[in-house]
Amino acid sequence: MSELKKILLTGGSGYIGSRFIDLYENQFSIVNIDTNYYSIPEIVTNSSVENISKDVRDITEKDLVGIDYIVHMAELSNDPLGDYNPDLTKSINIDATKKIIKLAKSSKIKKFIYMSSCSVYGLSDDVILTENSAINPLTEYAKAKVANEKILLENDYDFEIKILRNATAFGFSPNTRLDLVVNDLSYSALKSSKIKIHSDGTPKRPLVHVEDICRVIYELILNENTDVLLINVGSNDMNYSVKEIATEISKITKVNDLSFGKKDNDQRSYMVDFSKLKKILPNFVFKHNLESGTFELIKNMKHIDNEINSRRIKKIKDLIEKNHLDSNLYWK
């Protein structure tokens, strides 16, 4: 039996990483480096994975010994958290990524997969966007994604580069997030029997199930295309308005108390074309649509016993207020 390839997941205890481990822990020798801001015991104590509790800013060349592939996910994730402290966002999301890329080069890594986001498109005025479209990042989080894409695209490296601009993720994970539109509205419907939208519902969001993101990562690890790839990850039939998302969740949960607000300060609205992914992975079939993914999410909502832990910015503020983290988000 051949030796398993060794993969480093940065942020592997998070929303996407924990689902990836759940799916593929027997396919690779997995090393998970995570600060564990949001961790749950089932992930950290997984005996089949080498879990290292470490801030992404402190990764060294020693951590990359024997690693074949890197999937880099460890950042301050989502737009509100990215805007919370722009200097920290730069330090954690950009500077730490630069360092990891430099270490990857000196450590002879074979493949580097970076989790970017369709949020780099910002606002599209009903134009369907491709990877070649102009970008318009509106938040510190999205601006950091753009900066990291440029670092990877505008320099020469000895390893393969795959940049995944993921649509807005949704669905169940061992470490489910509630600060994502489908997950948030589904949780609200179950807990309060209300679905309240703060905006007027017109902003557009492409969606992709978290398991399908993991499946794309897996396929690209195995894929022998050595080109530098920048890929939108999602499906063309999953571009929705927030109103359409809320209406579908209302039908699924049978919660009819559905309300909308006025146009809010969040200007993000974009529709995305995912045809390039289909060309690169022609046999890939998405497993989940909005309906099936929401049903699965609702079925597993009972595992969420700490709402604060599932909302990124609330959790960080809670850890600071309780004196567990310092102002630079290092553990005390």
- The alpha carbon dihedral of 248, 253, 301, 312 has a sign of positive
Q: What are the Cα distances from residue 56, in Å, to 95, 106, 201, 203, 214?
A: 10, 17, 36, 33, 21
At residue 7, the pLDDT reads 98
At residue 199, the pLDDT reads 86
Query: What is the pLDDT tens value at each position of the chain, 332 positions in all?
Result: 568 999 999 999 999 999 999 999 999 999 999 999 887 665 556 678 999 999 999 999 999 999 999 999 999 876 566 677 888 999 999 999 999 999 999 999 999 999 999 999 998 877 899 999 999 999 899 999 999 999 999 988 999 999 999 999 999 998 888 889 999 999 999 888 999 998 899 999 999 999 999 999 999 999 888 888 899 999 999 999 999 999 999 999 999 999 888 776 677 899 999 999 999 999 999 999 999 999 999 998 876 765 665 677 888 888 899 999 998 999 99
- Cα–Cα distance measured from residue 131 to residue 153, given in angstroms and rounded to the nearest whole number: 13
Q: Which domains does the chain have, with CATH numbers?
A: 6-321 (3.40.50.720)
- Cα–Cα distance measured from residue 67 to residue 8, given in angstroms and rounded to the nearest whole number: 6
Residue type at 274?
F
Residue 152 near residue 110, CB atoms below 8 Å: no
At residue 11, the pLDDT reads 95
At residue 18, the pLDDT reads 93
At residue 124, the pLDDT reads 83
Residue 47 near residue 24, CB atoms below 8 Å: no
Those residues whose C-beta lies under 8 Å from the C-beta of residue 243, and which sit 6 or more positions away, are: 197, 200, 201, 202, 260
CA 47 to chain CA centroid, nearest Å: 24
CA dihedral 32, 38, 40, 44 (to 10 degrees): 20
Residue 245 near residue 181, CB atoms below 8 Å: yes
Helix axis angle for 242-253 and 181-192, nearest 10°, is 40
Strands in the chain per DSSP E = 6-10, 29-34, 50-53, 69-72, 111-117, 123-129, 160-166, 168-170, 195-197, 204-209, 229-233, 239-241, 258-260, 269-272
- DSSP letter at 301? G
The owner of tokens 């002879």 is 108
The owner of tokens 């134009």 is 127
User: Which tokens go with 7?
Assistant: 């993969």
At residue 43, the pLDDT reads 59
The owner of tokens 């939108």 is 232
Q: Which residues of 102-130 are buried (b: 16+ CB within 10 A; e: fewer)?
A: ebbeebebebbbbbbbbbbbbebeeebbe
Helix axis angle for 140-153 and 96-106, nearest 10°, is 20
Helix, strand and coil content of the chain, in percent to the nearest 5, comes to 40, 20, 40
Tell me the CA end-to-end span of the chain in Å, nearest whole number: 44
Instruction: Tell me the whole-structure pTM to 2 decimals.
Output: 0.94
At residue 276, the pLDDT reads 97
